[in-house]
Amino acid sequence: MRLIELAPPAGGYALALHGGAGGRVEELSLVEQGAYAEGLTAAHRAGTAVLASGGDALDAVCAAVEVLEDDPLFNAGRGAALTAAGTAELDACVMTGEGRAGAVAASRYARNPVRAARKVMEETRAVLLVDPGEERIAAWGLETVDADWFITPARQRQLADVQARALEPARHGTVGAVAVDVRGRLAAATSTGGMVGQNEGRIGDSPIVGAGTYARDGAVAISCTGEGEAFLQGVVAADIAARVRYLGQSLGAAVEATVTAELDTRGAIGGLVAVRPDGSVVVAHNSPAMFAAFQDGDRVVTLT
């Protein structure tokens, strides 16, 4: 497992994000690696701008994830992985350190699923809504799009190749962000199109509180990516948080212990980004590679 630990920054706030574990998707390998770095940097810039102006951690993670949802290179929003039927079913979750959360699963009409997840948290009594309708999305004041808007030729080729070669569905590819603001408040957001060629209606860990997304003020905010079923069964994000909160483990030690216990034992790969209230960050993955962006001193580092 590769684990990167970063000390608290000087500015009193921090942001880290990921764009999926497992390395670049094989079918998209002709796209220049620099394009991924540019997308990650743009997302990090958007989130950091919110924090630098004194904004909330929730606003920051949503801003970062929205940029990645609009970038067709990443498996979220436009350009997301397609189901076996060639459709896009999108999942997203947001959570604040206060313990509030909202999520959508199999979303088809919200241009930015992360915004829809936030509306679930702020404007309903629910935590998770499945397939919110176009009228509901519009009533929330969010931009709606036709279901075909999410589909790109690259993802159609990818699905055709997976089906033609009878490959197992690709189980990596998710975007997410974690942040702490200048008031010490934490937030996490995660968004995904799921697995290439997945069954219609399949839901992974990303929109499930405690599995792929979790935040708790005073402890940690976490966003995960990887083989969703393993993260669900291991309740990975909540397990890491519990090790920090109740066992007093360092964030790095908690991440390493959980990955070993819940992913390695299942033969699963994935990764995560996490941040503590003091701004210290951990980026970790047991996959061959992971897309990520984070601040290290005066520079923004991207992993591709």
Q: Would you name the residues annotated as active-site residues? A: 174
State which amino acid sits at residue 161: D
Q: How far is CA 190 from CA 97, 139, 229, in A?
A: 15, 23, 16
Contact 106, 57 (CB under 8 A): no
- As given in the structure block, the two tokens for residue 186 are 């934490």
Question: Cβ neighbours of residue 298 under 8 Å, at least 6 residues apart?
Answer: none
Check residue 27 and report its DSSP letter: G
The span from the CA of 269 to the CA of 172, in Å, is: 8
- Nearest-CA neighbor of 275 among 37, 49, 61, 54? 61
CA–chain centroid gap for 81, Å, is 14
- As given in the structure block, the two tokens for residue 146 are 């036709």
Write the DSSP string, 120-180.
HHHH-S-SEEES--HHHHHHTT--B--GGGG--HHHHHHHHHHHHTTPPPP----EEEEEE
State which amino acid sits at residue 12: G
